[in-house]
Amino acid sequence: RIDPYERYPSVTPDDYEVQVTWVISNLDDQTHTIELLLDPWNEFGRYWPGLQVVDAERGEVAPNLSGIDFYRELKPSSAGEASRLRGTFTFDDMTEVTTDLAAVMNIILQVPPPPPDEDNVMGPATFANHAFHMGNRTHNTPLTDKYVPPVIAGITGFDIGFRTTEQANIALEFVVEIKEKDRDRDKVLDEGESMDEAFDEPGDFITVSAM
Please give the pLDDT value at position 189: 86
Instruction: Give me the amino acid identity at 196.
Output: D
Q: What is the pLDDT of residue 58?
A: 84
- Whole-angstrom CA distances from 181 to 13, 82, 87, 96, 101 are 9, 37, 24, 16, 21
How far apart CA 90 and CA 177 sit, in angstroms, is 10
How much is the pLDDT for 145? Answer: 96
Pick out the chain residues at pLDDT < 50. Answer: none
Query: So what's the pLDDT on residue 156?
Result: 97
Look at residue 210 in the predicted model and tell me its pLDDT.
62
Radius of gyration of the chain (CA): 19
**The pLDDT value given to residue 115:** 75
Rounded-to-integer distance, Cα 83 and Cα 107, Å: 39
Report the candidate in 123, 127, 110 with the shortest Cα–Cα distance to residue 3.
Answer: 110
**What predicted TM-score, i.e. pTM, was given to this entire model?**
0.92
Please tell me the predicted confidence (pLDDT) of residue 195. 86
**Tell me, what's the pLDDT at 183?**
84
> How is 161-179 classified by DSSP, letter by letter?
EEE-SS---EEEEEEEEEE
